[in-house]
Structure formats: structure tokens, C-alpha cells
Amino acid sequence: MTPTPGRIRVLVVDDSAVIRKIVTEALGADPTIEIVGIANNGQEAVAKVEALKPDAVTMDIEMPVMNGIEAVRAIRRSQSRLPIVMFSTLTERGASATLDALAAGASDYVTKPSNVGNFAESQKNIREQLIPKLKALTGTRRAVAGAAGAKAPAPARAAIPPAQRRPRTGPFGVLAIGSSTGGPDALAQVLPLLPASLPVPVVVVQHMPPLFTRLLAQRLDVTCKLTVVEASEGELIVPGKIVIAPGGKHLVIKRSGTSVVGHLTEDPPENFCRPAVDVLFRSVAAVYGDRVLACVLTGMGRDGEKGAGVIRAGGGEVYAQDEATSVVWGMPGAVATAGQADKILPLQRIGPDIATALSRGPAPVGVGS
């Protein structure tokens, strides 16, 4: 098959003929996407990735011969940046398997069609969920390839240096982190580097559905020196604890007497997200003033850009992950190109730099600027 120049070449991997038909027809209807092959199991997928050189892969998890997680590991041995999007079910077993796939190197996931008898509805869900992710994930990779002469690079976005301010002397009071696509792996690399003696609380928004965030918190709790929990209503925001917003709810930080607590809301999504990073960032700025250190990690979209502006306007600081180490430089790129990033750092430097910045000593709990 002769490749069509400029189109995103996708390999579809699933042991269900019905799912393969739904996915290939939904993707094939988009003029920017070309289906270059299908595979019935992970073993076939590994061979076809080598033979067809696709721009992206959609991968089922449960398959005979070789499952999707094993296939991801095998592909990653030779293809470190090939976008691989997993199909997940919204069950505890499905969520756990999806987190295993992300840990193995998968780029992102979408919800697998549940009502396969309704082709139109299933294809609509695929178009709405999968196509934007494929375009975002392949956009970064094709730009990198273009730099090496393989394909035309996407237009570069230049980071804008932030406005100069007086050197900071006082301690921070909180660390707030926002992430999305590629975020679970980024969090798994950053959070375990924070010391048990960290003098401030940590609050996190990772774009994920309900159930996924609880399992993510449980997994991070095993590897981190700090306690990691999914936020509940009235959660105390205190040093020694990392609090992750639950899927489906915004996390808002508020004062309660001399304490600071987490409040959960079902207010409308922002940036098409609930939880939203902007919601969290505005709330920490309101409570902690100039003592906020925020970090925006890899992710699609622009969530966190406006909140970062609020934090910097209040005297806090914002770090952003760099483009080279981001799975998608959407969220951190939006912060950087808006001139709201005090530092733009590769992933491997973010944990150590945050730990150093927060080591200036504790700040009184519940006191604003």
C-alpha cells in the first residue's frame, strides 16, 4: 500500500472484528487519517509496527497470543516515541490494566465502545475521543521527525520569557501540579523524588475518569515517600500528603479556621475537564497568595494556562515541562508560550528542582499572602 503524504497512518489492533470495523470506519472517515493495517493480537501488532512503520497505533488490552500490555513493552524496545493509544473499559479491572499499560509505555487511552450493537453511537464516541488524541500525539512526533528530515515539521511555538520580578526570599506554602496526557508516567517520575520531610502539602489534578484517580493514588502511594490519597470532601491539606483530585469532581482549596481543606464540586467542566487544573490553581492562589509553586506537566489542551496567570499575578511561581520530554506539549506549551513559566524544565529535572525550591522551610498552615 502506497502511503498518502501528510495523512496520519494508523495501525488498528483488536481481536474483535466488530471493534476493528467500528474503529477503522470511524477513523477512515477523517480525511487526515489513513488506516495502514489491522492486527488481531499483540504479536501481530509488533510485527506490523516493524513492517508498516505507522504514525500511531490503537491497541486493545485483552487479546489472545500476546495481550496489549505485553505488545506495548515489545514495541517500546525499538519505538520509544510511537504514539500508542489503549482501549480501556470503565471498570476496576479495566482501569488497573490501563494504568499497567501506561506504566509499560502507552501514550494515552480512550474508552472502548460498550454498545457495539449501535454502530453509529460507537463510531461517534470513537471520533470524539480518539481522533483528537491521535492528532495531538502524532503532531509532536511528526515535528520531531521533521527536524531530522523525515517529514515537514509543525510550526514551532516559542516560549515567552516571563516578566522579571524581584528574587524570591520567602518560603512556599504549597505545591500544585496539573497534568493530562502522559501525566501518570510523569507523576510517577516526579513525585517519588519529593522527600518525606517536604515542608508543604501537594495537590494534584490529573485528567482521568472516576475510579482511575483512586487507583493512580494507590499506586503512587507505594512508590512515594509522602502519603498519596485521592481527595475526599473536607480533606486536610497538610505537609506530608499528596492529594489527587478525584475523577469527575473539581478540587477547590479553601481555608477552614486555621486549617486548609479540600472541597469537591460538580461545577461545570472548564476546558472540557472536570477536574480542571485552572480551578485548582485559582483556589490555591486565593489561599496561599505568593507562596504557591505550581507545575504544569505534559497534557493535551490549554488547561492550567489561565490558572498559571493567576498564580504569577499573585506572586507565586510556575514551572512547565519542556516540549522534548512531553508526550503532548499542549498544557505546558500553553503556559510557556503565554509567558507564564518561570522555568521550562525537562522531566528529569522537575522533581529535583521542585524539592530544592521547597526546601526553604515551612510556611504557616492556612495563612495567605
Rounded Cα–Cα distance for residues 25 and 32 (Å): 13
CB atoms closer than 10 angstroms to residue 104: 19
CATH topology identical between 8-147 and 174-360: yes
- Residue of 107, 179, 180, 326 with catalytic role: 180
Fold of 174-360: Rossmann fold (3.40.50)
Rounded Cα–Cα distance for residues 255 and 277 (Å): 19
Rounded Cα–Cα distance for residues 343 and 251 (Å): 25
Domain ranges of the chain: 8-147, 174-360
Q: Looking at residue 265, what is its pLDDT? A: 98
Q: Is 326 a catalytic residue?
A: no
| Pick from 359, 304, 366: nearest CA to 335 | 304
Q: Looking at residue 124, what is its pLDDT? A: 87
- Residue of 303, 322, 326, 342 with catalytic role: 303
What does pTM read for this prediction? 0.89
- Residue of 108, 207, 250, 278 with catalytic role: 207
CB atoms closer than 10 angstroms to residue 229: 17
Q: If you count them, how many residues does the chain have?
A: 369
Rounded Cα–Cα distance for residues 348 and 190 (Å): 8
- DSSP per-residue codes, 308-350: HHHHHHTT-EEEEE-TTT-S-BSHHHHHHHTT--SEEE-HHHH
Q: Looking at residue 117, what is its pLDDT? A: 67
Q: Is 250 a catalytic residue?
A: no
**Strands, sheet with 56-59, edge to edge from the N-terminal-most edge strand:** 33-39, 8-13, 56-59, 84-88, 108-111
**Mean per-residue pLDDT pooled into runs of 10, the chain (369 residues):** 72 94 92 96 97 96 95 95 91 92 95 74 87 88 41 57 76 97 97 96 97 96 98 97 98 96 97 97 97 97 97 96 95 96 96 92 42
Q: Looking at residue 168, what is its pLDDT? A: 76
Q: Looking at residue 296, what is its pLDDT? A: 98
Which value, to the nearest 10 degrees, does the dihedral of the CA atoms of residues 136, 138, 140, 144 take?
-170
Q: Looking at residue 227, what is its pLDDT? A: 98
Asked if 162 contacts 345 with a C-beta cutoff of 8 angstroms, the reply is no
CB atoms closer than 10 angstroms to residue 165: 11
Fold of 8-147: Rossmann fold (3.40.50)
Q: Looking at residue 68, what is its pLDDT? A: 96
Q: Looking at residue 235, what is its pLDDT? A: 97
CB atoms closer than 10 angstroms to residue 150: 10
Q: Is 207 a catalytic residue?
A: yes
